Amino acid sequence: MRRITVLGVGYVGLVTGACFADLGNQVICLDVIPEKIEKLKRGELPIYEPGLEEMVQRNAAAGRLTFTTEYAEAISNAEFIFVAVGTPSGVDGEADLKYIRSAVENIAAHLKSYAIIVNRSTVPVGTGDSTAQTLIERGKKQGVDFQVVSNPEFTREGSAVYDFLNPDRVVLGSVDLHAAEAVADLYRVFTKNLMLTDLRTAEMIKYASNAFLAMKISFINEIASICEKLGADVKLVAQGMGMDARIGAAFLNAGLGYGGSCFPKDVKALTYMAEVNGLHPQLLRAVMDINRDQRRRVILHLRELLGNLRGKTIGLLGLAFKPNTDDIREAAAIDLAHMLANEGANLRAYDPVAMENAHQILDGVKFCNDAYQVAAGADAVVLVTEWNEFKQLDMPRLYASMARKIFLDGRNIYDPAEMRAHGFEYRGVGRPLNGAPHETLQPNDAAVAIT
Ligand code: UDX
């Protein structure tokens, strides 16, 4: 049993705290926002994350997981202090480190005995070194010893608990091997793939991994645009590519582009780090451009099908940046809502869990109770987030209620031939506009057999 403190109760911090408590460790989670801590003390979560609420309640009830807003209480007795505070984008795309600085100041002010500071927030390469220096200097004056370990997180929202408990790898960067080994011991139960390296390399592994995944998405989205023009079907192209073990099938789903709290921010921050060091990160810039274009293409399709969008009623299915989360940061739906509002369209939207968050930042959108209410009387429906409840919609019912029968499938979850058979003017992303040749093949044809 170790004494662990986690600073920040967002997706990363709360999952880290709950999972370590579940292993039997004594965990204190701190946040500076009192409402969040009050909620947690009542057993409610400030965020939506499948599986987390039950885990938090169970460990809180067992007395292994507590919550506080007081640094003195959280820091003074800790063996490990995990920093999981936000690092939002600054004006030029650089990571804004104000929350990290404040956390470091407070750690230095309250620590009474040796502790290992483990940074899980995504920070610019080099931050660990400077943090370590600040803390070690402060510690010397106070007679307290600190070590700093960088431990980037690779958990996806929506499956963060699963990802934490089943990591592909755990990366630990430090100048102090003993400190890195001590943190490694906390994780050994989850995986044997523990990588110990220096601080800067660990920080870079996080950026490079996220940028690579974002690049895969932008790559397949560019291929999708070419497919659309040439009459090929990107879903099958991705499937065919993904069978090559060197390429891999993951993150090759063409769609409306990536969103969320990590990819947009991290690709921007990596670009910034390269630029301020005199480099020209052309690939990273292209990744961001293509992602922006994916949203714009929806508007182009709608204009082509409906003409001027002023006064047209457009329905958005899904607001979260991906399914199983209430997070709308950098979500395609939010970009689309702004663009469509600029075009003068009337907007309706529905999302199973993200409407409360969307309500706070979107004006003039009619929030509906379900997908059918979104579609009733609409000129076009755009499927933005592939929630399970949108995967088996009653299409004849949807069709009957719409004014114009336009369905833009931004995540390619429906079969184009079936949608056209229902009577819809259907468009996916990177799928032939007038039906693919393979749609007319007989069932014993290879292309159909693998779909
Ligand atoms: C990501 C990383 O996966 C995770 O390792 C890191 O720690 C944090 O950032 P997350 O942002 O939660 O996780 O979501 P992820 O599932 O990776 O999806 C990111 C975005 O890419 C979503 O908007 C999703 O819709 C989009 N995406 C993903 C695609 O458009 N196509 C794909 O094939 C995969």
| Number of independent structural domains in the chain | 2
What secondary structure letter does DSSP report for 4? E
Q: Say yes or no: 115 and 254 in one domain.
A: no
Q: Ligand 1 pocket, 160 CB below 6 A?
A: no
Residues 172/196, Cβ–Cβ less than 8 Å = yes
Mutate to test the pocket of ligand 1, among 12, 122, 217 (most ligand atoms within 8 A of CB): 217
Q: Considering the entire predicted model, what is its pTM?
A: 0.92
Residues 72 and 8 in one domain: yes
252 and 177 in a common domain: no
DSSP, residue by residue, 6-64: EE--SHHHHHHHHHHHHTT-EEEEE-S-HHHHHHHHTT--SS--TTHHHHHHHHHHTTS
Considering the domain architecture, whether residues 178 and 264 belong to the same structural domain is answered as no
DSSP-derived secondary structure letter, 123? -
What Cα–Cα distance (Å) separates residue 326 from each residue in 155, 262, 351? 16, 15, 9
- CB of 217 within 6 A of ligand 1: the answer is yes
Mutating to test ligand 1, I would choose from 212, 216, 322 the residue with most ligand atoms within 8 A of its C-beta, which is: 322
**CATH number reported for the structural domain that contains residue 137 in this entry:** 3.40.50.720
- Do residues 189 and 213 make contact, with C-beta atoms less than 8 angstroms apart? no
Residue 377, in any domain of the structure: yes
Q: Do the domain assignments include residue 148?
A: yes
Residues 6+ apart with CB under 8 A from 236: 438, 447, 450, 451
Q: Is residue 242 part of a domain?
A: yes
Q: Which atom of ligand 1 is nearest to the CA of 11?
A: 12
DSSP state of 94: P
**Which pLDDT does position 451 carry in this prediction?**
43
Which parts of the chain have pLDDT scores under 50?
443-451
Query: For residue 434, what are its two tokens?
Result: 């007038």
Whether residues 97 and 240 fall in one domain: no
Predicted confidence at residue 123, as pLDDT, reads 86
Quickly list H helices, 256-319. 263-276, 282-306
Domain shared by 188 and 298, yes or no: no
Nearest-atom number in ligand 1 for the CA of 155 is 7
Structural domain contains residue 205: no
Residues 193 and 272 in one domain: no
Helix (H) or strand (E) holding 174: strand 170-174
Per-residue pLDDT tens over the stretch 136-184: 888 888 888 889 999 999 999 989 999 999 999 999 999 999 999 999 9
pLDDT score at 436: 58
- Same domain, yes or no, for 302 and 369? yes
pLDDT of residue 401: 98
Q: Is the CB of 263 under 6 A from ligand 1?
A: yes
Nearest CA to ligand 1 atom 34: 251
Is residue 220 a part of any domain in this protein?
A: no
Mark whether 146 and 257 lie in a shared domain: no
In a domain, 219, yes or no: no
Residue 449 included in any domain? no
Host domain of residue 135: 3-197
Q: What is the pLDDT of residue 96?
A: 85
Check residue 438 and give its pLDDT.
Answer: 57
Ligand 1 pocket member 318 (CB < 6 A): no
CB 428 within 8 A of CB 416: yes
CA of 214 to the centre of ligand 1 (A): 8
Same domain, residue pair 142 and 244? no
Residue 210 lies in a domain: no
Same domain, 181 and 301: no
Statement to judge: residues 159 and 270 lie in one domain: no
